[in-house]
Chain A
Amino acid sequence: MLPVIRGTIWAIVAFLIGAVLTAIVRAAMGLAPWAFGPVFTVGYFFGFTGWLLGVGVWDTWLREYLGMEPRPFKAEGWRRYFGFNTDHKVIGIQYGVTFVFMFLAAGLLAMLMRFELMRPGRDIMDFAEYNRIMSLHGFMMILVAVTAVPGMFGNYFVPLMIGAEDMAFPRMNALSYWIWPPAAFLLLLSPFFGGWDTGWTGYPPLAITNADGQLLYNLAFFTGGLSSIVGSVNFLTTIITMRAPGMTWGRVPIFVWSIFFTSVMSLTATQFVGVAMVMNLLDRIASTAFFDPVQGGVPLVYQHIFWFYSHPAVYVMILPSLGIMLEVLAHFSRKPLFAYRWAVAGFAGITALSFTVWAHHMFTSGMPEVLHVPFMATTEAISVPTGLIFLSALGTIWQGKLRFKTPMLFALGMLFNFLIGGLTGIFNSDLPVDMQLHDTFWVVSHFHYTILGGGIFGLFAGIYYWFPKMTGRMYDERLGRIHFWLMFVFFNLTFLPMAWLGLNGMNRRIGDYPPQLGGVNAFVSMMAFVLGASFLIFVYNMVVSWVRGHVAEANPWGVRTLEWATSSPPPEHNFPHVPEVLGGPYDYGVPGAVHARV
């Protein structure tokens, strides 16, 4: 039996056990036994456990713990993706396919939103539906942005780039992926429980009093966070302990550094959002009243805890993509990565400061005014380490020998978009200007420039760059370029006018707006539809190339890092022998320089 099927059956059985037990306890307490909140919540945690046991925890850890022979998952062909596979390359592809699919689904929701916003007034959905679709779009995209790059490329390429045969904890790696299906299932289920209408931020008291779908959001966010923590422990351990001989910290590729610092943030901040979710959930089901002002709770506390994770989280979204960008810029300029140490210091600085800026999301929240100044200072200070990334990027392409393949186009496009994203962010960090811009379409423009224009462009740079390595086949370069140009041009045409809309009085998260903003909104919607359509080319290119693209060589780009020193795709244990690292990964233009002997 495929492990996913066994996991599903065990999950259903465990859910029912948990639900019935809760109902019995409630009945014994003289309460109505079948209250949705407590019954579903306890049932979910039982079901979640049942799922993990069925999908692989029983066969591996638990059998070992009980003194039985473990039964590691073994399968070939497509079946190997449907079980507790511990090969980091399989897990990378599992993550990749799952989250690219989720990205496209959430993008379809964005198309619906732009359809509604094309004209003022109510068109295809009512405001409640709009709020639910917007919330689902936002949350799914947040999950994609946090998870896709580390999940797909971190898992696949960190071990390869440092010359390791796998991650430090392969079974934990599989666990981190198999935690995700229950979270995805909750999202699919949420519309049947009224969805939720608080956006991805889930602010109480609204999040305490609205439909039951909110509870599923709380549980899904908690579950996803668990996966982040498990994954980041693994990345840190792998990078610290599994580097090949000679792979000193000064020779570690910049993408690995970006995953390292991303993991530091994920490991230390994610707990906070988990706590925020649980507290909100308890307010809903157990009358704890942490955030319910009617019973003496304080709504602003939620925002502090939530953003204490969720601001570092935006750097979790961007750092790995910046790593890919610098990686691609160096290799496709055939020049050493400029100011390598400074770029690493930039990542370190962003990581450290990311924990100190959260309340800039709260300048208009009613928190004490005395807090505005320090948070403005830290927020504006974070532009300095971010600037070091730009120093490295510009210094790398300067005087290089640039090759304009699709990954390079995406890396350059990302640099441009992220520049606008960074500069528009300065306006939000400035207290007086933020009084006007907070919670408007300016912010929508700003964070799509950083997360879509930055993070997701980086994701696509990575997809095109590593596609030949992961699939053993070459994508169609011409279609790749068409995809880039459509995506780049229509991305900018979609999101730049949104900044103007925000400045001119269009708030975010609304299904309607003043009629005088109709013209610009119609333009934005039409541009957004072309942007959406550009992904059809991408999907076509990926599917067709994966099935019958040209067979890729081991090193089609002629670049130096270790993942290109093995076959495409790599064999099960990556390298025939342990590689010996002799020099830096970017020694272009140095006659006779060797990065590693494989």
Chain B
Amino acid sequence: MRRDALIVFILWVLLTVVGEAIVMAIDIYPPVAAVEAEHIDQAARTLFMLATPVFTFVVVVMLYSIWRFRARDESEEGPAVYIHQPFAVGWLVVTSALAALLFYNPGYVGWKFLQRDPTGDLVVQVVAAQWHWHVTYPQYDLTVTSKPIGFERMEENAELALPAGKRVKFEITSVDVIHSFWIPALRMKVDAVPGLVTTMYATVTEPGSYEEDAAFRVQCAELCGTGHPRMNMRVTVMEPEEFEKWVEEQKKMMEMGGGMEEEGDH
């Protein structure tokens, strides 16, 4: 009994060390384009690190029991152990402490962090409609509109540009059903709800584009009907000077009447 427990303890420690090393070594996250995104990835890493010892403990006890405690003949019965009170109490204390810990960090701390600054240098107003994104930059008097034309023709679709280093406030609403405004590179989404304006704040960091990784896209993340998978557009984070140029180009295109003539097929 003592010996079994000791072996399990050693295996658990070893496997946990290996597990933590794997969690720290491998990078399973897509590119990051905001301070908030870095924070959220860090929160996920913290959760992986907290989950690892729990996972390895259960797996080690299971595998060891399967290997060590198999019945050798049909009549064998195990010991009449109904409970081990100190172990059960210890289990309750440890699991409660773990729950409290991860509620505080990354949970509560992360919530505070996302709430920290309800302002934006750049305001981006987003209006969702089956199955378009109308993106307005009120400070520049510019609107771009996406088309549901699919991933095959993404390069022809509209672009949501964001200036690197700026804090962006998104104001989001919908005119028909519920949609969800998600930019995977920002690691955030919020629903576009008819009759409600929802907000999302992001301090954008480095340049990046859809051509680099599909995390740089707006994607509707709330089922909104037939065109749902195609309700997306490219996102490009660019240096502020380039952003100004981009705004000018878009305005010229708007004057020439580009943009809305082509509808997607479903």
Contacts and interface: CB of A to CB of B under 8 A. Distances in A.
Contacts of B193: 293, 299-300, 365-366
Contact of A507 (B76, B152, B219): B219
Contact of B44 (A121, A334, A433): A433
A121 B152 contact: yes
A402 B30 CA distance: 44
Contacts of B58: 390, 394, 415-416, 419
Interface in B168-205: 176-178, 180, 182, 184, 187-191, 193-196, 198
Q: What 7 A-B pairs come out closest when comparing CB atoms?
A: A432-B110, A514-B214, A335-B78, A293-B195, A510-B229, A505-B184, A589-B80
B91 A298 contact: no
Contacts of A423: 51, 54-55
Contacts of B224: 206
Given A121-B151, A372-B111, 12 more contacts: A127-B227, A127-B230, A197-B225, A334-B71, A369-B111, A376-B103, A376-B108, A399-B81, A423-B54, A503-B44, A588-B80, A590-B80
Report the contact-size class of chain B (Cβ under 8 Å from the partner).
Answer: 35 or more
B6 interface: no
B222 to A, nearest CB: 6
Given A366-B190, A507-B182, A433 B40 contact: yes
A364 B28 CA distance: 23
Given A197-B223, A400-B69, A402-B65, A395 B106 contact: no
A423 B37 CA distance: 22
Interface string A180-210: 0000000000000000011100011110011
Interface centre among A197, A420, A433, A513 (most CB of B within 10 A): A433
Given A504-B30, A504-B215, A432 B111 contact: yes
Interface in B36-60: 37, 39-40, 43-44, 47, 50-51, 54-55, 58-59
A517 interface: yes
Interface of A: 120-121, 126-128, 131, 197-199, 203-206, 209-210, 293-294, 298-300, 333-336, 338-342, 364-366, 369, 372-373, 376-377, 380-381, 383-384, 387-388, 390-391, 394-395, 397-404, 412, 415-416, 419-420, 423, 426-427, 429-433, 435-436, 438-440, 500, 503-505, 507, 509-517, 558, 587-590
Contact of A558 (B74, B152, B182): B74
B71 A403 contact: yes
B228 interface: yes
A427 B44 contact: yes
Given A127-B266, A373-B108, A438-B189, A430 B229 contact: no
Contacts of A127: 226-230, 266
Interface of B: 1, 4, 28-30, 37, 39-40, 43-44, 47, 50-51, 54-55, 58-59, 61-62, 65-66, 69-72, 74, 76-84, 87-88, 91-92, 95-96, 98-99, 102-103, 106-108, 110-111, 113-115, 150-152, 176-178, 180, 182, 184, 187-191, 193-196, 198, 213-215, 217, 219-230, 266
B106 A430 contact: yes
A209 B177 contact: yes
Contacts of A432: 39-40, 43, 106-107, 110-111, 113-114
Contacts of A509: 223, 228
Contacts of A436: 37, 40, 44, 184, 187-189
B195 A398 contact: no
B70 A404 contact: yes
A401 B82 contact: no
B81 A394 contact: no
Contact of B62 (A210, A415, A510): A415
A430 to B, nearest CB: 5
A517 B229 CA distance: 14
B95 A384 contact: yes
Looking at A210, A387, A429, A432, the one whose CB has the most chain B CB atoms below 10 A away is A432
A504 to B, nearest CB: 5
A381 B95 CA distance: 9
Contact of B194 (A293, A387, A403): A293
A391 B69 contact: no
A354 to B, nearest CB: 16
B30 A299 contact: no
A209 B176 CA distance: 9
A534 to B, nearest CB: 21
B178 A376 contact: no
Contacts of B92: 342, 384, 387-388, 391
A390 B219 CA distance: 38
Contacts of B220: 507
A365 B70 CA distance: 50
A431 B44 contact: no
B62 A431 contact: no
A30 B190 CA distance: 44
B115 A369 contact: yes
B151 A120 contact: yes
Given A338-B82, A399-B78, A401-B71, A384 B96 contact: yes
B77 A399 contact: no
B194 A512 contact: no
A336 B82 contact: yes
A342 B198 CA distance: 43
A435 B189 contact: yes
B69 A402 contact: yes
Contacts of A516: 213-214
A397 B152 CA distance: 53
B61 A588 contact: no
A397 B68 CA distance: 10
Question: Which of A366, A372, A558 has the most chain B CB within a 10 Å cutoff?
Answer: A366
Contacts of A205: 176-178, 194
B43 A514 contact: no
A298 B193 CA distance: 9
Best-surrounded residue of B66, B151, B221, B223 (most CB of chain A within 10 A): B223
Contacts of B215: 504-505
A439 B113 CA distance: 22
B262 to A, nearest CB: 18
B226 to A, nearest CB: 4
A432 to B, nearest CB: 3
Contacts of B87: 395
A298 B189 contact: no
A256 B40 CA distance: 42
B192 to A, nearest CB: 8
B133 to A, nearest CB: 14
B84 to A, nearest CB: 7
11 contacts: A131-B225, A197-B223, A203-B222, A339-B82, A364-B221, A366-B196, A366-B198, A391-B92, A399-B81, A419-B55, A433-B47
A190 B130 CA distance: 24
A369 B201 CA distance: 13
Contacts of A381: 99, 103
A391 B84 CA distance: 11
